[in-house]
Amino acid sequence: MKLASTPVRPAPRFSRSDGVIVAGVAVVLLANLIGLIFHGGGYNPVVDGSLPIFSDWAATVLVWLAVQRSPSRRLHVVLAAAAVTSLTVSDTAYRVFPGDTGSAFGPSLADAGYLSFYLLLMGALTVLVRESLCGQAWPVLLTSTVGALGATSVLAVLLGPALESALAAPFSMPILLSIAFPVLDLLLVAALAGIAATPVRVLGRSGLLLVVGLILFATADVVYAQQVQVQSVAMGTALNGAWAIGFALIVLWVLLAARGREQPNRSSVATLADGTAYTVSAVAAPLIATAAGLAVLLLASQTHVSTLAVALAGATLALAAIPLAFRQRMLNSLSRTDELTGLPNRRALAMDVSSRLRAADARPSALLVLDLDRFKEVNDSLGHEAGDRLIGRISARLTGALRAGDLLARLGGDEFAVHLHHADDKRATAMARRLRAVTARPIVIDGLSLEVGLSIGIALSPEHGSDLSGLLRKAEMAMYSAKSSRVGQRIYSAGDDSNDEARLRTLHELRIALAENQLVLHYQPKVDLPRDSVPGVEALVRWNHPTRGLLFPNEFLEVAEHGGLMRTLTRVVLELALDQAVLWQDQGRVLTVAVNLSSRSLLDYQLVNVVTRMLADRELPGSALMLEVTEEFLLVDRDRARNVLLRLRAAGVLIAVDDFGTGYSSLAYLRDLPIDELKLDQSFVIPMLDDDRASALVASSINLGHSLDLRIVAEGVETAEVLDQLVRFGCDVAQGYYLSRPVPAAELERWLDDRAAAGLVAAGIE
């Protein structure tokens, strides 16, 4: 397998809620700028007072609403929101009490709030860095310090004249604070330069908003510091415009951070020839900082520059001159560590295990590949941050279960590898059971108790190979076999080669099938027993394979599930079913088309919007579609199920519970969730004539459904005797081979026409 860094998440799409955020920040900015444009001379109580105050507080309320709705409410976001609030309070005090300049020994209320802003924002950045570095402080410290010192040397040059004037002037609190604010601004910019210089991604693209906002603050504060020493600075100048724009940009950064929009930019990540991943800023920032330090020293040789600026520039070049080999060793250490968990990564596994296998005293060993079951559902339903926390908790449990000498590495995503030194098949099997046991205990994430399964494949050395790549490939094949057969763990066998090859071939061909419209639907009618009519059909997918013929779902659905194609397949099936519903509607046939949805499809946060858009595009009522869901989805996450089903019900879509009675379930969901139909599983219906208990279950289920005002559908009706019994029990709808097998649409139409004609003949009408 190709060595690569941890995959970068795709950037999120711009949603309607994001548009509301941008519009809100735009209102804040425009309110401030309009006040400046129409300012006029002197103090204006509207444009200098109430309008900016209102816009500032509106932005602050918007920020706290975003924090409240954030699924994680991470500490750095809360601190940043508090910093924005501090700015708003300060600005309000500045405008309401313009004559308050504080005393000779203390700042004014406004100045105290401004100072709090810097402390809170620095705290937010500190927390964010600690969360992101995962204990990798020493390798990061050198490059970040170079970046920070270079930026600080530049700010020392910019502030030199103002500092010298302030030191020469008589002491006053306003002049002292006028110097303090630009120093704090530029120190924050220097800190961000240090963060940008780290080899670890800390700030995503949204961090640029914070940088530009602070630079605007710094620029305005430097100009203010120079002006305030010679004259008072009135409100309504261009400085207020710079502060307003900077405030808006910082607010926008906090809003995006609260919504978890800090994903890195794909284009800013590169990979060295040896597989080491790095960010472009991690290379560019130290180089720019070094160039800035050199420029300051060259400037000092031509003109007067403060001693502080020269000292900072010299420190920048001194750190940058640390031997390259030493810095490379630190970066190599970082490149061998997984950023999220702190575990060895794939590169470290390749180096360490290869050394172990080549050792002269190499003994039998085992390589285990571990994959979390249904981890994608956690990401889809709770978000990537929750998924990251789950990975961190799982890695800690796995680490605690291993023995001295065992090596645990994260391969990427939800996949881990364990190399057991000096292990045979018995020890490998015992360790696999132990690892599955420790991960099976519930983990609480965002208030939800999650039970995570683990599928493990085992390859033994030298029995299955003596090089890492071969062992890794065979362990992965065994893992996929364990996952597909749901046995939990499996030692590699020769049969896994053919199974893995067939699975990969099927997955490749299924991708082609989805692109080339090879999927077709067959329809099985659902007969209303009391009315002897056909109100709807169930759509069942088939694959019209170019060489293997017509394939049934059991031959490809599992591959689609594990291969990440279920979302695409579900949407293709929905499109085919609704397109057919339109054709039947044009023919005057009023039929509800039922489509089965897997649990993974129901976890797709876009599902409801997709369904409603498909119905609207075809001008179909919601009742033209019925979605059949499983008890499993209804029980695993009741709140999410309720939310999804209520939104579908609001669109008029009908809901059926498929395979009712086959799971270990609580019937409480029948009371709480918007369900129209229960489908009795055929495992109860088929044997009910010969099995009194099955018959009793069918009868009691029908009575239960009717008491809850639900329709009952019996699947698996294969004989006239079973159909008659269902009629006696009062069943509402029947479906099965006795009535009709699933057939193509054209054949179903003939069946419907023949049935209608037979009904007319029976009634004596021809």
Percent of the chain with pLDDT over 90: 19
Same domain, 396 and 481: yes
Higher pLDDT, 637 or 121: 121
Give the angle subtended at the CA of 669 by the CAs of 667 and 673, to the nearest 5°: 150
pLDDT mean over 460-489: 83
107-150 tens-digit pLDDT: 567 777 778 888 888 888 777 766 555 444 444 556 666 666 77
At position 630, the amino acid (one-letter code) is: T
- What is the rounded distance in angstroms from the CA atom of residue 704 to the CA atom of residue 694? 15
Q: What is the pTM of this model?
A: 0.47
Same domain, 610 and 756: yes
For residue 646, the 8-state DSSP code is H
Same domain, 115 and 251: yes
Per-residue model confidence (pLDDT) at position 101? 53
pLDDT mean over 674-682: 88
pLDDT mean over 203-217: 74
Per-residue model confidence (pLDDT) at position 527? 94
- What is the rounded distance in angstroms from the CA atom of residue 386 to the CA atom of residue 388? 5
pLDDT > 90? residue 604: no
Which of 169-173, 205-209, 674-678 shows the lowest mean pLDDT across its residues? 169-173
Same domain, 253 and 361: no
62-117 tens-digit pLDDT: 888 877 766 555 777 888 888 888 888 887 887 777 655 544 444 567 777 778 88
Residues 6+ apart with CB under 8 A from 179: 159, 162, 163, 166, 225
- What is the rounded distance in angstroms from the CA atom of residue 278 to the CA atom of residue 274? 12
Residues 6+ apart with CB under 8 A from 250: 83, 84, 87, 209, 210, 213, 214
Higher pLDDT, 459 or 251: 459
Per-residue model confidence (pLDDT) at position 119? 84
Percent of the chain with pLDDT over 70: 66
pLDDT > 80? residue 244: no
pLDDT > 90? residue 742: yes
pLDDT mean over 645-674: 77
pLDDT > 60? residue 765: no
- What is the rounded distance in angstroms from the CA atom of residue 468 to the CA atom of residue 591? 58
- pLDDT category of residue 632 using cuts at 50, 70 and 90: low
Per-residue model confidence (pLDDT) at position 759? 66
- pLDDT category of residue 158 using cuts at 50, 70 and 90: low
Instruction: Output phi, psi for 287, to 5 deg.
Output: -65, -45
Per-residue model confidence (pLDDT) at position 105? 46
Which of 145-154, 662-671, 728-737 shows the lowest mean pLDDT across its residues? 662-671
Same domain, 220 and 100: yes
What CATH number should be reported for the domain holding residue 656? 3.20.20.450
- Of 100, 93, 9, 20, nearest to 56 by C-alpha is 93
* Domain final residue pick, 213, 238, 263: 263
At position 313, the amino acid (one-letter code) is: A
Whether the Cβ atoms of residue 424 and residue 363 lie closer than 8 Å to each other: no
Asked if residue 367 is part of any domain, the answer here is yes
323-332 tens-digit pLDDT: 444 455 555 5
pLDDT mean over 427-437: 90
For residue 11, the 8-state DSSP code is P
pLDDT > 70? residue 518: yes
Number of domains in the chain: 3
Give the angle subtended at the CA of 27 by the CAs of 21 and 31, to the nearest 5°: 155
- Of 412, 335, 401, nearest to 369 by C-alpha is 412
Same domain, 35 and 72: yes
pLDDT mean over 206-220: 76
Per-residue model confidence (pLDDT) at position 577? 95
β-strand partners of 337: 344
* Domain final residue pick, 263, 278, 303: 263
pLDDT > 80? residue 190: no
Which of 6-20, 333-347, 374-388, 512-526 shows the lowest mean pLDDT across its residues? 6-20
Which of 184-198, 255-269, 467-481 shows the lowest mean pLDDT across its residues? 255-269
Same domain, 478 and 533: no
Per-residue model confidence (pLDDT) at position 15? 47
pLDDT > 70? residue 633: no
Asked if residue 294 is part of any domain, the answer here is no
280-324 tens-digit pLDDT: 455 555 667 777 778 888 887 887 777 777 887 787 777 766 644
Q: Mind giving me the DSSP string for 653-688? A: -EEEEEEETSS---THHHHHS---EEEE-HHHHTTT
* CA 680 remoteness from chain centre: 36
Which of 343-352, 377-386, 639-648 shows the lowest mean pLDDT across its residues? 377-386
Same domain, 466 and 530: no
Asked if residue 679 is part of any domain, the answer here is yes
- pLDDT category of residue 734 using cuts at 50, 70 and 90: very high
Per-residue model confidence (pLDDT) at position 713? 94
- What is the rounded distance in angstroms from the CA atom of residue 73 to the CA atom of residue 386? 12
Per-residue model confidence (pLDDT) at position 481? 79
Whether the Cβ atoms of residue 560 and residue 518 lie closer than 8 Å to each other: no
What CATH number should be reported for the domain holding residue 441? 3.30.70.270
pLDDT mean over 447-457: 80
* Helices of type H across 538-637: 557-562, 566-586, 599-602, 607-617, 631-636
Question: Which domain, by its residues, includes 214?
Answer: 18-133+205-263
pLDDT mean over 599-621: 84
At position 82, the amino acid (one-letter code) is: A
Give the angle subtended at the CA of 278 by the CAs of 272 and 284, to the nearest 5°: 105
Same domain, 420 and 530: no
β-strand partners of 278: 270
Asked if residue 184 is part of any domain, the answer here is no
Q: How many CA atoms lie within 13 A of 579 on its CB side?
A: 9
Asked if residue 712 is part of any domain, the answer here is yes
Same domain, 746 and 598: yes
- What is the rounded distance in angstroms from the CA atom of residue 414 to the CA atom of residue 293? 43
Asked if residue 124 is part of any domain, the answer here is yes
Same domain, 233 and 382: no
**Crossing angle of the two packed helices 468-485 and 346-358, in degrees rounded to 10:** 120
Residue 168: how many other CB atoms lie within 10 Å: 8
Using a 10 angstrom Cβ sphere, with 0-12 exposed, 13-18 middle and 19 or more buried, the burial of residue 98 is middle
Same domain, 528 and 484: no
* Domain final residue pick, 219, 242, 263: 263
- Which range of 129-138, 340-349, 417-426, 492-501 scores highest in mean pLDDT? It is 417-426
- What is the rounded distance in angstroms from the CA atom of residue 238 to the CA atom of residue 241? 5
pLDDT mean over 654-669: 71
pLDDT > 70? residue 652: yes
**Per-chain mean pLDDT for the chain:** 76
pLDDT > 60? residue 258: yes
